[in-house]
Chains A and B, each alone.
Chain A
Amino acid sequence: MAKETGIVSWKELALGCTLTEPGSAAQLKTGDWRSMRPVTDFELCNKCGQCYIFCPDMVYSQNEEGFYEADYYYCKGCGICARECPKDAIQMVEEGD
């Protein structure tokens, strides 16, 4: 957990806070900011991929059936996907509900 969130002792930080591993931002958990989560109704979805395109955090990826599934590790709950979905297939739901 410590590694994926970047939470380490000051003694373990690289010199000058340099990032030594390319693409290490992928380890940063942006999902813990979220207060609302997007939930997709695949009955309404036409697989257009707008949610995948508009999501600023690369949350969506296509599954074997061609539907776009969310990875909540990264989803920060901004609601852009729900707003952009042309089929109103994505609902924003309160976290904890």
Chain B
Amino acid sequence: MGKRVGMEVSIAAAEAVGLCDVDVIAAYPITPQTHIVEHLSELVADGHLDAEFIPVESEHSAMSTCVGSAAAGARTFTSTASQGYALMAEICYIASSMRLPIVMAVANRALSAPINIWNDHSDMMMARDTGWIQTVAENGQEVVDLIIHAFRVAEDHRVLLPVMVNLDGFILTHMIEPIILPDKEEVDRYLPPYKPKMRLDPQNPLTFGPVGMPEVYTEAKKAQDEALKGSKAVIVEAWREFEKQFGRSYKPVETYKADDAEIIILTMGSISETAMTAVDKMRAAGQKVGLVRLRLWRPFPAEELIDALKGAKALAVVDRSLPFSGGCGPVCVEVKSALFDRGLSPYVQNFLAGLGGRDVTVEDFEAMAAKVSDGLAKGLPMGYEIMNVRE
């Protein structure tokens, strides 16, 4: 087993990609993803990683190159954030529709305007309906682990879909944390070499990405939807295998002191660790508060979520991007939909917090718990509110 060393999470992410024997990296630098691709470029330039590093002229080209590379049968990685994701979005739909197992780390950052380089989840929510698998890391170790997991899931012949590993910009990317980088042999045991099911090959010509007439488009999308839904079993299986190999366990929905909780706070990403501190504090004061965190965002783990939430009387669901007049933020939409489909109706309030890099504090989580407790008792209307906005 590798030993625990202090390193910047972006460097660890790049090292993890290197441990996965990636063949092609095509990327364009953007804050706060820069250190990830910078370090990969160094690894290739210094001869530590036998891969092609293609320094493209935009994110649109980055994902286009990844599509070509993955279609040719190469293990392919890229990374981006925010506006970079927005520019590559067109090709992201194509990557998933063509069932190409590209892995991408997204250093989550707000979308302009106003220009803002700091962390929230606007970019990953923009990616919500692209048909990619999306996992979410809460700390540096998880970034490393989820990247290794991502290649295994993406390339599994029962899946063959691209995977996005989300890590909060700056809060994770620029943090120095104690991280265990696994040995190469361990990773090799976990991650077999990539064997494409179909690839561009002059000896066996195929047409990738043809036109789909109205007679076939619906069926093509149905097949893609089933593939994404079906990937959940493989994602879970690959996490179980990961635990056997590396000793760290992951689940689609993670819980913290949620079993007997009457009030549950629901989070995603690095703020979850702050929320745990808040839960500890409230528990110490005798309040039955727990925490549920989404590790898997797509395919959405509705069954696991309901399992974790059942018993709660009130939910404080945190979203880190705006619904702009919709009923509630994207995370809360899924939560409410999962509850409604099963005839469950706890009190649900949606808090839009941590937008464009604003801190979410222990006190904020305490305030959320107090608000839903009050809302439940008084039967206050449900909806979304922007936390700590100055009037």
Contacts and interface: CB of A to CB of B under 8 A. Distances in A.
Contacts, number: 54
Contacts of A18: 98, 198, 206-208, 210
Given A6-B216, A8-B219, A9-B219, A14 B198 contact: yes
A30 B220 CA distance: 20
A46 to B, nearest CB: 37
B381 interface: no
Interface string B207-248: 111101101101110110010000000000000000000000
A6 B215 contact: yes
Nearest to B200: A18
B216 A20 contact: no
Contact of B213 (A6, A10, A15): A6
Contacts of B219: 8-10, 13
Interface string A10-27: 110111111110100000
Nearest to B94: A16
Contact of A15 (B197, B207, B210, B212): B197
B198 A17 contact: no
A19 B97 contact: no
A7 interface: yes
Contacts of B98: 16-18
Contacts of B160: 15-16
Contact of A20 (B99, B206, B213): B206
B115 to A, nearest CB: 37
Contact of A16 (B198, B216, B222): B198
Nearest to B97: A16
A50 interface: no
Nearest to B99: A16
A20 to B, nearest CB: 6
A2 B222 CA distance: 18
B205 A17 contact: no
A5 interface: yes
Nearest to A6: B216
In this complex, which of B197, B219, B226 has the most chain A Cβ atoms within 10 angstroms of its Cβ? B219
A11 B212 CA distance: 15
B100 interface: yes
B220 A10 contact: yes
Interface extent on B, as a size class?
20 to 34
A17 B197 contact: no
B157 to A, nearest CB: 9
A13 B223 CA distance: 8
Q: In the complex, which of the residues B207, B208, B226 has the most CB atoms of chain A within 10 Å of its own CB atom?
A: B207
A13 B198 contact: no
Contacts of B207: 18-19, 22
Contacts of A16: 97-100, 160, 198, 208-209
A5 B214 CA distance: 12
Contact of A7 (B206, B212, B215): B215
Contacts of B212: 17
B220 A19 contact: no
B162 to A, nearest CB: 11
A18 B148 CA distance: 28
Contacts of B97: 16-17
Nearest to B207: A19
B281 to A, nearest CB: 49
B222 A5 contact: no
A10 B208 contact: no
Given A13-B223, A18-B208, A22-B205, A7 B216 contact: yes
A7 B97 CA distance: 19
Given A10-B218, A17-B209, 16 more contacts: A6-B216, A10-B223, A13-B216, A13-B223, A15-B99, A15-B197, A15-B198, A16-B99, A17-B97, A17-B210, A17-B223, A18-B207, A18-B208, A19-B206, A19-B210, A22-B205
List the 9 shortest-distance A-B pairs measured between CB atoms, nearest first.
A16-B99, A19-B207, A10-B219, A10-B222, A16-B98, A10-B223, A17-B220, A15-B99, A19-B210
Interface of A: 5-11, 13-20, 22, 28
8 contacts: A10-B222, A10-B226, A15-B99, A17-B220, A18-B198, A18-B210, A22-B205, A22-B207
